[in-house]
Chains A and B, each alone.
Chain A
């Protein structure tokens, strides 16, 4: 059974903290994605990566950075968390132009 896992289902952090969200896929996919999902705004792409050490900005990269040191792992970093980054964060992966496989999501609350 193919799998995308995320390090936490729920996370609570304080304003100004550095936050790491980890995503791991076991399907040997070259592409990995980070999205955030907010009520009324749908799914929005933050960053994606098409290969190890390669990254591209999505639609809303401000306030975020990413790291892909290994093919199976894609990390999302909030350098200094702010309350407007409270959201559901979803990681996904795919190969070529095939369907994307999503993780269960991390609900992040920044106080």
Chain B
């Protein structure tokens, strides 16, 4: 599986935008970029995913570089509830097993929100 690289931690102020970077220089053409986050004492939760185009949903936006070697998760207005570990992972859609394919999380980025 292609690997991702994220900063260990980032700090931001409440109600300001947050840009969480992820490098994936060995990404393949069939890899989707997924983001999950894990709040303290909770299981991970899905945030967003994309392939080539930028994506928006109610939680965040995902900006994907033109060469797809990096991406940025954007929280438009961070709140204290967004303090979590954010994981950027790649999912190969050429996998023949369909959805029964486990996730592999690295260390992620620990996002700290200051009030």
Contact = CB atoms under 8 A, between A and B. Distances in A.
Contacts of B105: 37, 42-43
Interface in B19-50: 34, 41-46, 49
Nearest to B48: A99
Given A96-B99, A97-B98, A42 B44 contact: no
Contact of A97 (B41, B42, B101): B101
Contact of B102 (A4, A37, A45, A96): A45
A33 interface: yes
Interface residues of A, number: 32
Given A42-B107, A100-B46, A101-B46, A59 B97 contact: no
Interface in A58-107: 58-59, 90-92, 94-105
A58 B100 CA distance: 11
22 contacts: A30-B100, A37-B105, A42-B104, A42-B106, A42-B107, A42-B108, A45-B102, A50-B97, A50-B99, A56-B100, A92-B103, A95-B99, A97-B91, A97-B93, A97-B99, A99-B46, A99-B49, A100-B44, A101-B46, A102-B45, A104-B42, A104-B43
Given A90-B43, A105-B41, 16 more contacts: A30-B100, A31-B100, A42-B106, A43-B103, A43-B105, A50-B97, A50-B98, A92-B44, A92-B103, A95-B99, A97-B93, A99-B34, A99-B49, A103-B43, A105-B42, A105-B43
